[in-house]
Amino acid sequence: MNRHLISAADLSRDDALLILDTADELARVSDRSIKKLPTLRGRTVVNLFFEDSTRTRISFEAAAKRLSADVINFSAKGSSVSKGESLKDTALTLQAMGADAVVIRHGASGAPHRLASWVDGSIVNAGDGTHEHPTQALLDAFTMRRRLSTLEGRRVTIVGDVLHSRVARSNVLLLRTLGAEVTLVAPPTLLPVTVESWPCEVSYDLDSVLPKSDVVMMLRVQTERMNAAFFPSAREYSRRYGLDRDRLAKMPEEAIVMHPGPMNRGMEIAADVADSARSTIVEQVANGVTIRMAVLYLLLGGETL
Ligand code: ASP
């Protein structure tokens, strides 16, 4: 495996399966009343978050702590970054502190890649701009595999604001590596121009794709990244691309509903669908800790699992 995890494309099929299998083993630890392993004792993991996060930051922290690593949480607010310190100077500070792994979330696509050239430790991309979010794709694949037993030949439909979604890009790449067939469904305004080169199908008609889906992954409409009007109104968007009870009924009985969070309830997903038994949204959060444990364990070469 590579020393860093920056893109889902960095993972070969064997790497991805190794992470998923390791996570399966580690899930047993999460089920125990004492959830700690001594594996990364003496190692330092820095969480470097320049953008807001709830699930990802907390789960990387929980993952590192469950493996007994020392964790330093750094958020841009309240640090010298708000005084104008550059990413490079921040990186040199981390380097001086001897970070073994740096988990970075940044608003600029490519920031983790830059960071990798300045520090010696492993870099884990926890979301960079609209580019990638590889551990989200891994936890999604892990959730799908647990529910559907295999990903090979499974039909995964990803719906919504693909243009601004790092989750969509990482999922398309990883799911392809793992043998699933991906279809993106979005209004044309919310698809990147390069989508034709992505290894997936594209459709504008959600209702025709739902009956052929094993997984339907809804994406958040990312208004904070929108600088123009991408659709006429929230209501119009929900009418065409939102997942409500009627649409859920069109999916095969075994098919599952996913969402990376945070959700706009009532917009891309109806509240009763998000809370239904078909939804894996809460499971995805729990699986996030397990997957991040597996990633840190494998990147830092932990011993005694
Ligand atoms: N939490 C995910 C991300 O950071 C998805 C989202 O924000 O919509 O990319």
Q: What's the pLDDT tens digit per position in 110-122? A: 999 999 999 999 9
CB of 166 sitting under 6 A from ligand 1: yes
3 in a structural domain:
no
61 Cα to the center of ligand 1, angstroms: 17
CA–CA dist 158, 303 (Å, integer): 37
2 in a structural domain:
no
Q: Which of 271, 301, 298 is nearest to 15 (CA)?
A: 298
For residue 167, the model assigns a pLDDT of 98
Q: Residue 201's CB: how many other CB atoms inside 10 A?
A: 13
- Could you tell me the pLDDT band of residue 94, with boundaries at 50, 70 and 90? confident
The yes-or-no verdict on residue 83 having pLDDT over 90 is: no
1 in a structural domain:
no
For residue 34, the model assigns a pLDDT of 86
261 in a structural domain:
yes
Q: What is the CATH number of the domain that holds 256?
A: 3.40.50.1370
304 in a structural domain:
no
Domain count, the chain: 2
- Could you tell me the pLDDT band of residue 32, with boundaries at 50, 70 and 90? confident
Mean pLDDT of the chain: 94
Q: Are 195 and 295 in a shared domain? A: no
Q: Are 214 and 180 in a shared domain? A: yes
For residue 248, the model assigns a pLDDT of 98
- Could you tell me the pLDDT band of residue 107, with boundaries at 50, 70 and 90? very high
Residue 194 CB burial class (10 angstroms; 0-12, 13-18, ≥19): exposed
Q: Are 86 and 202 in a shared domain? A: no
Please state the atom number of ligand 1 nearest to the C-alpha of residue 133.
9
Q: Are 165 and 261 in a shared domain? A: yes
Q: Residue 16's CB: how many other CB atoms inside 10 A?
A: 23
Q: Are 267 and 293 in a shared domain? A: no
Q: Are 139 and 106 in a shared domain? A: no
195 Cβ neighbours under 8 A, 6+ residues apart:
162, 184, 202
CA–CA dist 162, 258 (Å, integer): 15
Mean pLDDT of 245-250: 98
18 in a structural domain:
yes
202 Cα to the center of ligand 1, angstroms: 21
Q: Are 275 and 294 in a shared domain? A: no
194 in a structural domain:
yes
Phi, psi dihedrals of residue 286, rounded to the nearest 5°: -65, -40
- Which two three-digit tokens encode residue 298? 């494998």
Q: Are 43 and 112 in a shared domain? A: yes
For residue 183, the model assigns a pLDDT of 98
The yes-or-no verdict on residue 227 having pLDDT over 90 is: no
- Could you tell me the pLDDT band of residue 33, with boundaries at 50, 70 and 90? confident
Q: Are 86 and 22 in a shared domain? A: yes
CA–CA dist 115, 131 (Å, integer): 15
For residue 305, the model assigns a pLDDT of 55
Mean pLDDT of 221-237: 91
8 Å CB contact between 292 and 135? yes
86 in a structural domain:
yes
Q: Check residue 100 and report its DSSP letter.
A: S
CA–CA dist 165, 139 (Å, integer): 16
Per-residue DSSP letters for 128-193?
ETTTB-HHHHHHHHHHHHHHHS--TT-EEEEES--TT-HHHHHHHHHHHHTT-EEEEE--GGGS-G
CB of 160 sitting under 6 A from ligand 1: no
Q: What's the pLDDT tens digit per position in 149-197? A: 999 999 999 999 999 999 999 999 999 999 999 999 999 999 999 999 9
For residue 179, the model assigns a pLDDT of 98
Q: What's the pLDDT tens digit per position in 258-269? A: 999 999 999 999
Identity (one letter) of the amino acid at 16?
A
Q: Are 139 and 236 in a shared domain? A: yes
Q: Are 22 and 80 in a shared domain? A: yes
The yes-or-no verdict on residue 142 having pLDDT over 60 is: yes
The structure's pTM equals 0.96
Q: Are 166 and 86 in a shared domain? A: no
Q: Which domain holds residue 37?
A: 8-132+285-299
CA–CA dist 126, 105 (Å, integer): 5
Percent of the chain with pLDDT over 70: 98
CB of 288 sitting under 6 A from ligand 1: no
CA–CA dist 217, 168 (Å, integer): 9
Please state the atom number of ligand 1 nearest to the C-alpha of residue 161.
8
- Could you tell me the pLDDT band of residue 302, with boundaries at 50, 70 and 90? low
